[in-house]
């Protein structure tokens, strides 16, 4: 097997999505699983020269003091979503990644996330100090493993929302104010993004947290001739919305109301149970309907923590629409998916597509990845199939 040359640096490396991504990557390397769920393995992306699984090496930041193997086993015993044998076969790899884990930062993550932080996570550093420390971790990871490039992916818990208009619009201004009031507002996700992009690394924000979404941080990406994309992986209920809403639009069936109730019980759910953190997520889930339909029906989105469900995210959506002659009709759907298992393959896909974009020298927001996100940066198109066509068109261009 060839030596890995590309690093995947996961922010929140011991959470459920990360654990599943790591077990999955390990199982793929071992040939223990097939490629179900992996978009990058579809026939239309063959011949693009996407990197093999063996090319990737994982490390990451984490604020909790847990063992990756234990976290992965919870998906076996509590949520019953992964086979025990898969996790056991990856045990050595999981233990190695424990050693490639560094303490993250909890700047402006809010009290619900803070409570999980271990003693080793610094409490007193300034934004500038935090960025420097995170960059040191990233550089050491890259150098000690001789990696050609590192892709940083944020899969940490969702932070409370921040009003982006409070931040300076340009990178030079933001850079100047890093230790002033503007910098003080920056949540951890943005500090990781700055740390990565400033080093010329690629950055992917898989969560609804602020990450690289401020224009000033996007500018940094272009200044450092690197790339980024986000935000908020589109895995379940919102994915369905982005598939079904175009139907109502194309058939001219006015949606009167769209109600979506989500229940699940993993760590992510525990954090989202804080109304402040939940607000960030709900805004991201709720935005796209208006964009697709061209008007704003009454909407309701709830996300509730129901412990017994573990990783099984269950969504009930009730769509009430007007048919011909004004007659009201109803579509309801019930989605029962494993949150981490829906997210993890997309993380791997994003890393592979981003790695290719790095080799091809693409800069700024990777808009062709819009179909992976609930709130894609710099893209207004919210219809999933149209977004997917953007990916196919990019692949077509890449192949020439």
Binding to a copy of itself (CB under 8 A): which residues in 231-250? 239-240, 243-244, 246-247, 250
- Per CB under 8 A, does 91 bind a copy of itself? no
Among 65, 175, 274, 304, binds a copy of itself (CB under 8 A): 304
Among 11, 63, 81, 272, binds a copy of itself (CB under 8 A): 81
Instruction: State which residue, 29 or 224, has the beta carbon closest to a copy of itself.
Output: 29
Among 9, 20, 71, 150, binds a copy of itself (CB under 8 A): 20
**Residue 182 contacts residue 159 (beta carbons within 8 Å):** no
Angle, helices 237-250 vs 384-399, to 10°: value is 100
**Residue 264 contacts residue 339 (beta carbons within 8 Å):** yes
Site string for a copy of itself, 29-68 (x = CB under 8 A): ----xxxxxxx-xx--------------------------
What is the closest distance, in whole angstroms, from the C-beta atom of residue 347 to a copy of itself in the complex? 10
**Residue 156 contacts residue 208 (beta carbons within 8 Å):** no
Point out which span in 75-83, 123-131, 153-161, 184-192 binds a copy of itself (CB under 8 A): 75-83
N-terminal to C-terminal alpha carbon distance within the chain: 30
Point out which span in 97-105, 125-133, 165-173, 302-310 binds a copy of itself (CB under 8 A): 302-310
Find the binding residues for a copy of itself in span 96-135 (CB under 8 A): none
- Per CB under 8 A, does 279 bind a copy of itself? no
Among 91, 128, 222, 261, binds a copy of itself (CB under 8 A): 261
Instruction: State which residue, 89 or 363, has the beta carbon closest to a copy of itself.
Output: 89
Site string for a copy of itself, 146-175 (x = CB under 8 A): ------------------------------
What is the closest distance, in whole angstroms, from the C-beta atom of residue 32 to a copy of itself in the complex? 9
Q: Report the largest interatomic distance among the alpha carbons of the chain, rounded to a whole angstrom.
A: 69
Q: Give the C-alpha separation, 191 to 111, whole Å.
A: 18
What is the closest distance, in whole angstroms, from the C-beta atom of residue 48 to a copy of itself in the complex? 15
- Please work out, in degrees rounded to the nearest 5, the angle formed at the alpha carbon of residue 170 by the alpha carbons of 165 and 175: 105
Instruction: State which residue, 240 or 276, has the beta carbon closest to a copy of itself.
Output: 240
- Strand 255-264 and strand 328-338: the pairing is unpaired
Among 30, 126, 144, 298, binds a copy of itself (CB under 8 A): 298
**Residue 135 contacts residue 195 (beta carbons within 8 Å):** yes
Q: Give the C-alpha separation, 127 to 178, whole Å.
A: 6
Reported as half-sphere exposure (CB side, CA atoms, 13 A), residue 83 has a value of 7
Point out which span in 18-26, 122-130, 185-193, 216-224 binds a copy of itself (CB under 8 A): 18-26
Query: What are the CA-CA distances from residue 154 to residues 18, 93, 182, 385 (Å)?
Result: 9, 21, 22, 25
What phi, psi does 18 have (nearest 5°)? -65, -45
Q: Give the C-alpha separation, 381 to 94, whole Å.
A: 38
Reported as half-sphere exposure (CB side, CA atoms, 13 A), residue 216 has a value of 22
Among 181, 326, 361, 400, binds a copy of itself (CB under 8 A): 326
Task: Count interface residues toward a copy of itself (CB under 8 A).
Answer: 74
- Strand 312-322 and strand 255-264: the pairing is antiparallel
Instruction: State which residue, 215 or 246, has the beta carbon closest to a copy of itself.
Output: 246
Among 92, 181, 334, 380, binds a copy of itself (CB under 8 A): 334
Q: Give the C-alpha separation, 155 to 162, whole Å.
A: 18
Q: Give the C-alpha separation, 103 to 355, whole Å.
A: 25
What is the closest distance, in whole angstroms, from the C-beta atom of residue 296 to a copy of itself in the complex? 13
Find the binding residues for a copy of itself in span 191-210 (CB under 8 A): none
């Amino acid at each position: 097997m060839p030596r890995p040359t590309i690093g995947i640096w996961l922010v929140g490396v011991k959470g459920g999505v990360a654990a599943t991504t790591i077990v999955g990557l390990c199982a793929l390397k071992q040939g223990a699983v097939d490629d179900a769920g992996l978009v990058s393995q579809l026939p239309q992306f063959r011949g693009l020269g996407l990197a093999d699984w063996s090319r990737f090496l994982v490390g990451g930041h984490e604020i909790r003091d847990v063992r990756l193997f234990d976290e992965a086993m919870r998906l076996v015993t509590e949520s019953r979503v992964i086979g025990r044998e898969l996790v056991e076969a990856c045990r050595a790899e999981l233990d190695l990644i424990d050693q490639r884990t560094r303490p993250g930062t909890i700047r402006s993550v809010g009290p619900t996330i803070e409570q999980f932080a271990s003693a080793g996570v610094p409490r007193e550093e300034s934004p500038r100090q935090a960025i420097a420390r995170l960059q040191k971790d990233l550089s050491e990871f890259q150098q000690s493993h001789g990696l050609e490039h590192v892709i940083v992916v944020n899969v940490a818990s969702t932070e409370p929302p921040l009003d982006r208009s409070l931040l300076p619009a340009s990178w030079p201004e933001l850079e100047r104010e890093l230790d002033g009031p503007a910098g003080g507002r920056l949540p951890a996700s943005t500090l990781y993004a700055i740390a990565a992009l400033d080093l010329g690394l690629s950055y992917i924000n898989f969560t609804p947290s602020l990450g690289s979404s401020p224009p000033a941080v996007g500018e940094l990406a272009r200044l450092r001739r690197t790339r980024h994309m986000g935000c908020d992986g589109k895995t379940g209920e919102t994915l369905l919305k982005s598939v079904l809403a175009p139907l109502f639009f194309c058939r001219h069936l006015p949606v009167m109301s769209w109600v979506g109730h989500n229940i699940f019980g993993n760590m992510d759910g525990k954090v989202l149970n804080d109304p402040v953190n939940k607000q960030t997520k709900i805004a991201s889930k709720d935005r796209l309907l208006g964009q697709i339909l061209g008007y704003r029906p009454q909407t309701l989105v709830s996300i509730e923590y129901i412990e017994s469900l573990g990783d099984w995210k269950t969504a009930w959506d009730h769509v009430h629409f007007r048919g011909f002659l004004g007659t009201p009709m109803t579509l309801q759907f019930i989605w029962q998916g494993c949150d981490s298992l829906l997210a993890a393959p997309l993380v791997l896909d994003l890393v592979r597509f981003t790695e290719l974009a790095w080799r091809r020298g693409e800069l700024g927001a990777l808009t062709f990845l819009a179909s992976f996100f609930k709130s894609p940066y710099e893209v207004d198109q919210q219809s999933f199939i149209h977004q997917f066509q953007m990916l196919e068109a990019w692949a077509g261009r890449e192949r020439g």
